[in-house]
Amino acid sequence: MKNNYVCIMAGGIGSRFWPESRTQHPKQFLDLLGTGRSLIQWTYNRFSNICPKENIYFITNESYIKTLKDQIPEINDANIISEPSRKNTAACAAYFAHKMMSLNKKANIVMSPADHLIMDEHAFERTTQEALEFVAQHNALLTMGIKPTRPDTGYGYIQYDPEEELDKVYRVKTFTEKPSLELARTFLKSGDFLWNSGIFVWNVNTIMDSMEKYLPEMHEVFLQATDVYNTPAEHDVIANLYTQCVNTSIDYGIMEKAKNVYVIPSYFGWCDLGTWESAYENSEKDYLGNAVFGDNVMIIDASECMVKAPKNKLVLIQGLEKFIVIDTKDVLLICERSREQQIKEYVAEVKRNKGDKYL
């Protein structure tokens, strides 16, 4: 267990959860489902059962560090990695790999988003332990794949080879990012496709070799800081180097290109809480199918709506069917559920017309 580490990626903005999620207080720090805990608190607690707490790191934007400390006060400053700018997941993975190589050359690493919903935490722990044991023994880049339950066009898909199995882990054949509905239906019928959870597991030496091969320029950037990792000088040196990193995902930069990519089929009630629709699907609902968050929300002749409002505000909804209604102190969003994938576009429109005030 001492060689197992977790890096929780917590730097995203979560614009599809606007107006609840804002630039200064994004979705990973929100309690979107009324559980009493934010998504990042759930994620931290989940991994604290898998490895020592001192081996759990967060990589987040500098502007979120205070919020992170407020929500997880027991975390040490040394376990908070400050990302100078948003450069996507490949830079996160490269930075953490180089940092771990200087700390523990036997490190087995889990790279996880901060905003996933896991319903069966015991199954998640078992699968993660199996994944860590696998990468400790094999030269493998491993991802957790989720058995699809519907032809969802919002997720990436992983095709695996049923014939190439090793300890219940399968070699990956192809990655497909957010397919059309027709293609997603074909994937579902074929039986050898899984949703890409975005949770990656590897040994530090394996990912370093892959970085050198597939992202050599980014690898060279972080090599320049070899002498300062885990020292007081690290922050300033990385701040200068980070601008040289290309903005790309770990999926595109490495996973889609490498030959030693494997997937472990996983069954732990996973959901990427990426949109209001996913929050609606995972919320308790009344007899008319309304998911309601707020102490003073009244529903009259409305059905299958997602409604979220401040506790002290009376909100009355009448006559709506399949709508999202999100009320905050300065923004009210009323949007058809079928159009919620366009919320990101609406946020861009707000920015063009109103500037950053409401973002």
**Domain residues of the chain, as ranges?**
4-274, 277-354
Contacts 24+ apart (CB under 8 A), 134-140: 134/167, 134/169, 134/201, 134/262, 134/264, 135/108, 135/201, 135/202, 135/203, 135/206, 136/3, 136/108, 136/203, 138/166, 138/262, 139/203, 139/206, 139/260, 140/169, 140/202, 140/206, 140/260, 140/261, 140/262
**In the predicted structure, residue 183 carries a pLDDT above the cut 80:** yes
Type of residue numbered 263: V
User: What's the confidence (pLDDT) of residue 357?
Assistant: 92
Bin 227: left if φ > 0, else alpha if -120 < ψ < 50, else beta: alpha
Type of residue numbered 211: M
48-31-179 Cα angle (round to 5): 85
Alpha-carbon separation of residue 86 from 83, 97, 126, 303, 314 (angstroms) = 7, 17, 32, 39, 38
**157-173 pLDDT per residue, tens:** 898 888 887 778 999 98
Alpha-carbon separation of residue 111 from 6, 47, 200 (angstroms) = 6, 11, 5
Round the average pLDDT of the chain to a whole number and report it.
91
pTM for the full model? Answer: 0.91
User: What's the confidence (pLDDT) of residue 81?
Assistant: 94
**In the predicted structure, residue 139 carries a pLDDT above the cut 80:** yes
DSSP 314: -
User: What's the confidence (pLDDT) of residue 106?
Assistant: 96
List b or e across 117-132, with b for residues whose CB sees 16 or more CB atoms inside 10 angstroms. bbeeeeebbebbebbb
Counting residues of the chain whose pLDDT is more than 70, the rounded percentage is: 100
**26-63 pLDDT per residue, tens:** 899 998 888 889 999 999 999 998 999 999 999 999 88
User: What's the confidence (pLDDT) of residue 64?
Assistant: 92
Residues in the chain, total: 359
**208-218 pLDDT per residue, tens:** 999 999 999 99
Give the β-pairing of 108-113 and 193-203.
antiparallel
Preceding peptide of 216 cis, ω within 30°: no
**In the predicted structure, residue 225 carries a pLDDT above the cut 80:** yes
**In the predicted structure, residue 229 carries a pLDDT above the cut 80:** yes
Element (H, E) at 212: helix 204-214
Confidence of residue 286 (pLDDT cuts 50, 70, 90): very high
User: What's the confidence (pLDDT) of residue 86?
Assistant: 84
Nearest to 134 by CA among 231, 54, 49, 202: 202
Q: Does domain 4-274 bear CATH number 3.90.550.10?
A: yes
Confidence of residue 102 (pLDDT cuts 50, 70, 90): very high
Place of tokens 């290309």: 246
The residue among 152 and 31 whose pLDDT is bigger is 31
How many CB atoms are located within 10 Å of the residue 282 CB?
15
DSSP 295: T
Task: Give mean pLDDT, residues 195-220.
Answer: 95
